[in-house]
A and B are shown apart, each in its own frame.
Chain A
Amino acid sequence: MDSTSFHIFSQLMLSGVIAGSIYGLIALGFVVIYKSTTVVNFAQGEIMMLGAYFCYYLVVTHHIPFLPAFVMTLVFSALLGILVEMLILRPMIGEPIFSVIMITVGLATLLRSIVGFVWGHETLPFPSPFEDATFEVFGLVVAPAEAATIVSALVLFLALFAFFKYSKLGLATRATAFDQRWAFLMGISVRKIFSLAWAMSAMVAAVGGILLGLVGGLEPNMSFIGMKVFPAVVLGGLESIVGAVVGGLVIGVSESLAGGYLSNWLGSGVKELCAFCVLLIVLMFRPYGLFGKEEIIRV
């Protein structure tokens, strides 16, 4: 491998890691909700998008500086998460899994339409709070927004990991996920845990959405990232925070490499396709994901 092809390879790896960090962040949102409420939220991508658009609205329409706008977006997302949980998911407790999946699919459609209705379908450039200048690390070109992506993914990942592992509330959350009834009997307020999980997940999603907007601008189709992250979540297993991040990175890097090396032969969309092909094959042999909790039912 000569030096140019190595350079191309490492640049591809880097962009894979950047995309993977965003995937990881969105996957984290999935895992946080699933870990505490055993609900799979098909509207994760849309909640992410709504957060990003809200931040855009504050920054561009109301000329609020980025940092306060960012904090306000986090608050807004947390409220949105709680509201969704209270109004939509709570009546679904005890309903069959089909209904729960369908209601989040319905929510996804609704939120996407709201964004399209309010902000239109054109790509909106997100005003970057960072300097435009890129800098070089080990000869690789990095934009500040991209560096921020990796850093914030890392920080949020560590924070959530620590929360679930060491805090009392995190323990309560895990207990709720393990068995709602027993957790309730042990004096845990299951309602509060559910609201908390949705609020946290929506906040993580909003951070992911803003970062995505900084890198690539805003448009309603960005919500499909939520669907594209599924391969990452399944690869990592729905219960595992580490798995979400690892899965996100694996998918991001393999997409980037496939885009760099295979798209000449197979067309530009091969990037997005490879993750789904991997997913199909993995699920054929391991129906509960690579690191997912195995529930053996032989039928």
Chain B
Amino acid sequence: MPSGNYKTSYRDDAKIFQTIWVKAWLFVFLALLLVFPFFAGKYLIYLANLMGIAVIGVLGLNILTGYTGQISLGHSAFLALGAYASTLLTLRLGVPFWLSMPLAGLFSALCGLLLALPCLRLRGLYLAIVTFAFYFIVEYTIIHWNGLTNGTGGLTVPEPNIVGLAVDSDRKLYFLILGLAILGLIFAKNLFRTEAGRAFIAIRDNDVAAEVIGVNVVRYKILAFMVCSFYAGVAGSLYAVTLNFIGPEHFTFLMTIEYLAMGLVGGIGTIAGSVFGVLFMTALPEAIRMLRDALSSHYPFLVSRMSDLQSGLYGLTIILFLIFEPTGLFGLWLRIKNYWLAWPYSYR
């Protein structure tokens, strides 16, 4: 008798919802997400918005780094490009937000294409350095092109407006971000059931072998860069409207690290992992913050050192996960699930 997750056809194997329970739980989760803003306070909704944006951004990074194996240390540059593009389109040309957001994504994707060109022959370390150089060049341009970006002064982001409907509260923004994050998840999940997604994975696992079996490595590497930067561009434009204000200080190198940490903690190269990672890495600083509030009466200097504590925590999490749990939370979850699926016979 078949037991566990037993499949007899490729069709079954490629299904998104492997069992009916996955589907059911997902809908319960979705329903919870939909009613959440009616019960949560202002700060929680704001936090949820940031998390939704992070999910979109991390998904992009995961497609490029996790699935295609191209290390990117320039992710925050793409977010910055998206944020500035959508804000400037609205400010200067009066483009409404529903149009400027996808345009920002496209602009970011175009920059991704430009970055992909010198990166095609690079791998590993050199790729990491070049993407870092790209981040540096973008940051420099934003700071010094005063006429366009107002330099370090930053820009105030106008209120987004979607086909006449003003998104004037965090709660309305929440539904927008939630919708886009779900769209992004569905697209990413399906991407890896198509030829392009399979090609990405083939390039990650062995690019020479991929070329030999007929994958056009150049084309798909460029595509991966573009999809990644499109996601980042959209995330950036959402980030801009969530913060109401953007400046170069919002898109630091630490942001890239944060996103990479989210991807790694969740499980690099998994879609669900992106969500897990964002949840974990958002909850962690919040927990630290609560701990700080509790301790600050005894150690008042902790308050001024909060940002160091937080970034140090990112660093430590990356190190610990890479050493002890390289497959991330998603891998951990799979192992726990498999253990209980066959309990008490844990060795399958």
**Is the beta-carbon distance between A109 and B130 smaller than 8 angstroms?**
no
**Is the beta-carbon distance between A105 and B257 smaller than 8 angstroms?**
yes
**Is the beta-carbon distance between A107 and B137 smaller than 8 angstroms?**
no
**Is the beta-carbon distance between A109 and B314 smaller than 8 angstroms?**
yes
**Is the beta-carbon distance between B132 and A106 smaller than 8 angstroms?**
no
Whether, in the assembled complex, B326 has its beta carbon less than 8 Å from a beta carbon of chain A, the answer is yes
Query: How many angstroms between the C-alpha atoms of A132 and B136 in the bound complex?
Result: 36
Query: How many angstroms between the C-alpha atoms of A101 and B318 in the bound complex?
Result: 11
B interface: dominant SS: helix
Kindly supply a per-residue 1/0 record for chain B positions 84-122, scoring 1 wherever the CB is within 8 Å of any chain A CB and 0 otherwise: 000000000000000000000000000000000110011
Please give, as numbers and ranges, the residues of chain B lying within 8 Å of A88 by CB-CB distance.
319, 323
**Is the beta-carbon distance between A299 and B207 smaller than 8 angstroms?**
yes
Query: How many angstroms between the C-alpha atoms of A273 and B264 in the bound complex?
Result: 30
Whether, in the assembled complex, B247 has its beta carbon less than 8 Å from a beta carbon of chain A, the answer is no
A149 CB to nearest chain B CB (Å): 25
Kindly supply a per-residue 1/0 record for chain B positions 301-334, scoring 1 wherever the CB is within 8 Å of any chain A CB and 0 otherwise: 0000101111111111111001100100000000
**Is the beta-carbon distance between A106 and B319 smaller than 8 angstroms?**
yes
**Is the beta-carbon distance between A283 and B132 smaller than 8 angstroms?**
no
Query: How many angstroms between the C-alpha atoms of A213 and B325 in the bound complex?
Result: 38
Please give, as numbers and ranges, the residues of chain A lying within 8 Å of B136 by CB-CB distance.
272-273, 276
**Is the beta-carbon distance between B308 and A116 smaller than 8 angstroms?**
yes
Please give, as numbers and ranges, the residues of chain B lying within 8 Å of A270 by CB-CB distance.
140
Kindly supply a per-residue 1/0 record for chain A positions 106-129, scoring 1 wherever the CB is within 8 Å of any chain B CB and 0 otherwise: 111111111011000000000000
A interface: dominant SS: helix
**Is the beta-carbon distance between B309 and A117 smaller than 8 angstroms?**
yes
Whether, in the assembled complex, A193 has its beta carbon less than 8 Å from a beta carbon of chain B, the answer is no
Query: How many angstroms between the C-alpha atoms of A273 and B145 in the bound complex?
Result: 14
Please give, as numbers and ranges, the residues of chain A lying within 8 Å of B308 by CB-CB distance.
113-114, 116-117
Whether, in the assembled complex, B223 has its beta carbon less than 8 Å from a beta carbon of chain A, the answer is no
**Nearest chain A residue, comparing its CB with the CB of B207:** A299
Please give, as numbers and ranges, the residues of chain B lying within 8 Å of A117 by CB-CB distance.
305, 308-309, 312
**Nearest chain A residue, comparing its CB with the CB of B66:** A98
Contact of A283 among B130, B313, B318 (CB under 8 A): B130
Query: How many angstroms between the C-alpha atoms of A109 and B260 in the bound complex?
Result: 12
Tally of contact residues, B, Cβ under 8 A: 50
Whether, in the assembled complex, A103 has its beta carbon less than 8 Å from a beta carbon of chain B, the answer is yes
With A116-B305, A297-B208 as known contacts, state yes or no: A105 contacts B318, CB within 8 Å.
yes
Please give, as numbers and ranges, the residues of chain A lying within 8 Å of B137 by CB-CB distance.
273, 276-277, 280
Kindly supply a per-residue 1/0 record for chain B positions 118-141, scoring 1 wherever the CB is within 8 Å of any chain A CB and 0 otherwise: 100110111011101110110010
**Is the beta-carbon distance between B322 and A109 smaller than 8 angstroms?**
no
Please give, as numbers and ranges, the residues of chain B lying within 8 Å of A97 by CB-CB distance.
124-125
Kindly supply a per-residue 1/0 record for chain A positions 276-287, scoring 1 wherever the CB is within 8 Å of any chain B CB and 0 otherwise: 110110011001
Please give, as numbers and ranges, the residues of chain B lying within 8 Å of A102 by CB-CB distance.
71, 260, 264, 318, 322
- 38-72 of chain A: CB within 8 A of chain B: 40, 42
Tally of contact residues, A, Cβ under 8 A: 46
- 248-299 of chain A: CB within 8 A of chain B: 266-267, 269-270, 272-273, 276-277, 279-280, 283-284, 287-289, 297, 299
**Is the beta-carbon distance between B125 and A299 smaller than 8 angstroms?**
no
A119 CB to nearest chain B CB (Å): 10
Please give, as numbers and ranges, the residues of chain B lying within 8 Å of A111 by CB-CB distance.
315
Q: How many A-B residue pairs have CB under 8 A?
A: 130
**Is the beta-carbon distance between A283 and B118 smaller than 8 angstroms?**
yes
Query: How many angstroms between the C-alpha atoms of A101 and B128 in the bound complex?
Result: 8
Whether, in the assembled complex, B144 has its beta carbon less than 8 Å from a beta carbon of chain A, the answer is yes
Query: How many angstroms between the C-alpha atoms of A106 and B257 in the bound complex?
Result: 8
Kindly supply a per-residue 1/0 record for chain A positions 90-102, scoring 1 wherever the CB is within 8 Å of any chain B CB and 0 otherwise: 0110010111011
Query: How many angstroms between the C-alpha atoms of A117 and B136 in the bound complex?
Result: 25
**Is the beta-carbon distance between B130 and A106 smaller than 8 angstroms?**
no
Whether, in the assembled complex, A230 has its beta carbon less than 8 Å from a beta carbon of chain B, the answer is yes
**Is the beta-carbon distance between A110 and B126 smaller than 8 angstroms?**
no
**Is the beta-carbon distance between A107 and B315 smaller than 8 angstroms?**
yes
Query: How many angstroms between the C-alpha atoms of A279 and B129 in the bound complex?
Result: 9
Whether, in the assembled complex, B47 has its beta carbon less than 8 Å from a beta carbon of chain A, the answer is no
**Nearest chain A residue, comparing its CB with the CB of B69:** A98
**Nearest chain A residue, comparing its CB with the CB of B151:** A267
Whether, in the assembled complex, B254 has its beta carbon less than 8 Å from a beta carbon of chain A, the answer is yes
Query: How many angstroms between the C-alpha atoms of A283 and B137 in the bound complex?
Result: 16
**Is the beta-carbon distance between B140 and A269 smaller than 8 angstroms?**
yes
With A116-B308, A283-B130 as known contacts, state yes or no: A110 contacts B118, CB within 8 Å.
no
Please give, as numbers and ranges, the residues of chain B lying within 8 Å of A299 by CB-CB distance.
207-208, 210-211, 217
Whether, in the assembled complex, A234 has its beta carbon less than 8 Å from a beta carbon of chain B, the answer is yes
Kindly supply a per-residue 1/0 record for chain B positions 204-218, scoring 1 wherever the CB is within 8 Å of any chain A CB and 0 otherwise: 000110110000010
Contact of A114 among B130, B143, B312, B317 (CB under 8 A): B312
Please give, as numbers and ranges, the residues of chain B lying within 8 Å of A112 by CB-CB distance.
311, 315
Whether, in the assembled complex, A227 has its beta carbon less than 8 Å from a beta carbon of chain B, the answer is yes
Contact of B125 among A101, A107, A273 (CB under 8 A): A101
**Is the beta-carbon distance between B326 and A113 smaller than 8 angstroms?**
no
- 61-75 of chain B: CB within 8 A of chain A: 65, 69, 71, 73
Query: How many angstroms between the C-alpha atoms of A42 and B65 in the bound complex?
Result: 18
13 contacts between A and B (CB under 8 A): A88-B323, A95-B326, A101-B125, A102-B260, A109-B257, A109-B318, A113-B312, A116-B305, A273-B136, A273-B137, A284-B117, A289-B126, A299-B210
- Interface residues, chain B, with chain A CB atoms under 8 Å away: 65, 69, 71, 73, 117-118, 121-122, 124-126, 128-130, 132-134, 136-137, 140, 143-144, 207-208, 210-211, 217, 254, 257, 260-261, 264, 268, 305, 307-319, 322-323, 326
Query: Told that A107-B319, A113-B311 touch, could you supply 17 new A-B pairs with CB distance under 8 A?
Result: A97-B124, A98-B65, A101-B71, A101-B125, A103-B318, A105-B260, A108-B315, A113-B308, A113-B309, A113-B310, A230-B129, A234-B129, A270-B140, A273-B137, A277-B133, A277-B137, A280-B118
